[in-house]
Amino acid sequence: MTEVRRETFGQMPQEEGGDGGGVVEKFILKSECVKVEILSFGCIISALETKDRNGKFADVVLGFDTLEGYMKKHPYFGAVVGRVANRIAKGKFTMEGKEYQLFLNNGPNSLHGGAKGFDKVLWSPQVLPNGVCFSRLSPDGEEGYPGDLKVWVTYTLSGGELTINYRAQTTKTTPINLTNHAYFNLAGQGSKDIYDHEISIEADSYLPVDDTSIPTGEMANVQGTGFDLRQPVELGKHLQKFGLGGFDHNFCLQEGQARRLAARARHPATGRTIEVHTTQPGIQFYTGNFLDGSLKGKGGVTYPKHSAFCLETQNWPDAVNKPHFPSALLRPGEEYNHTTWLLFNAA
């Protein structure tokens, strides 16, 4: 059985809390082996406690103790990002003969929805027997994107499995790509690095990127490269062996709408494991390369470089500008519907 509780987490400043009165709530979903806390601001996973092999709980996601931390600039800790997750080259795309220009917030590119994406707004919650459903209307023209977009993000917990479902409908054709940007450290948040984690990703190819992290358009075979993660590798040794400064790349998963295993991470010392299953065509593996120890996180800890990893299930980056990538477009009368399953256990 999953227990669901709600409580007040904080109050948004007057100028920010225009829609919905500005009270941010926290929803606590609890099973016998997982406890997850999710905010109505940005649909943020603010805490996720899971057992080690001795039954000891630890919080394995990065974040802040207070709303204030999430209101300031931070690297999308735990948030749902959109309307388009990841990068759009030069913040531009042309659709149905019209060019759209988005806000540039990542060098020459637009990242994770722009200046005020889905991670920085208040959502309307509805409590479910085993979870919570957040919804909002992203109005036509928000952050430069076309169409009134209705969005639903549903979190449900059953035993050791956290399910995240994303649905959307639009009044005009629009690009869309939704994901959750949780940062994990299975040793417990605040642990100094992730080098002792074992990682595997079920992908035969990945997308090489240019110096601004935009895919070049090529799909490269992982065979014989540092991107071959089909068998588990110990992350620190692997980065060293291949002279890699970290990962921030999309791995191409098997096409098709059915649920499939995408990735697995294990922390041998505690036995904690996370398995990621998804209906999405890609997964962005990011090793916290831009964390620099400057942010004070939960319990006053700092988060240095490589102190967490993200496994963001999503469409391929810049797909709106790459016709041979899986389509990122949602049309009126269609429904965007993707699900990701996170399975936590310890062995």
Is 181 flagged in the annotation as binding? yes
Q: Which of 74, 112, 181, 277 is catalytic?
A: 181
CA distances to 224, 270, 321 from 89, rounded to whole Å, are: 29, 40, 8
Is 286 flagged in the annotation as binding? no
Would residue 234 show up in a list of annotated catalytic residues for this protein?
A: no
Is 183 flagged in the annotation as binding? yes
Q: Which of 49, 142, 198, 312 is catalytic?
A: 312
Q: What is the 3-state secondary structure (H, E, C) of the chain?
A: CCEEEEEEEEECCCCCCCCCCCEEEEEEEECCCEEEEEECECCCEEEEEEECCCCCEEECECCCCCHHHHHCCCCCCCCEECCECCEEHHHEEEECCEEEECCCCECCEEECCCCCCHHHCECEEEEECCEEEEEEEECCCHHHCCCCEEEEEEEEEECCEEEEEEEEEECCCEECECEECCCECCCCCCCCCCCCCEEEECCCEECCECCCCCECCCCEECCCCCCCCCCCEEHHHHHHHHCCCCCEEEEECCCCCCCEEEEEEEECCCCEEEEEEECCCEEEEECCCCCCCCCECHHHCECCCCCCEEEEEECCCCHHHCCCCCCCEECCCCCEEEEEEEEEEEC
Q: Which residue has the tokens 């997850």?
A: 36
Is 182 flagged in the annotation as binding? yes
Task: Tell me the two tokens of residue 65.
Answer: 């103790």
Is 324 flagged in the annotation as binding? no
2 with 32: CB under 8 angstroms? no
Task: Tell me the two tokens of residue 220.
Answer: 């490269």
Would residue 312 show up in a list of annotated catalytic residues for this protein?
A: yes
Report CA 292 to chain centroid distance, whole Å.
Answer: 20
Is 315 flagged in the annotation as binding? no
* Distance from C-alpha of 326 to C-alpha of 215, rounded to nearest angstrom: 13
Residues with a known catalytic role: 181, 312
Q: Which residues are annotated as a binding site?
A: 86-87, 181-183, 248
Q: Residues comprising the binding site for beta-D-galactose?
A: 86-87, 181-183, 248
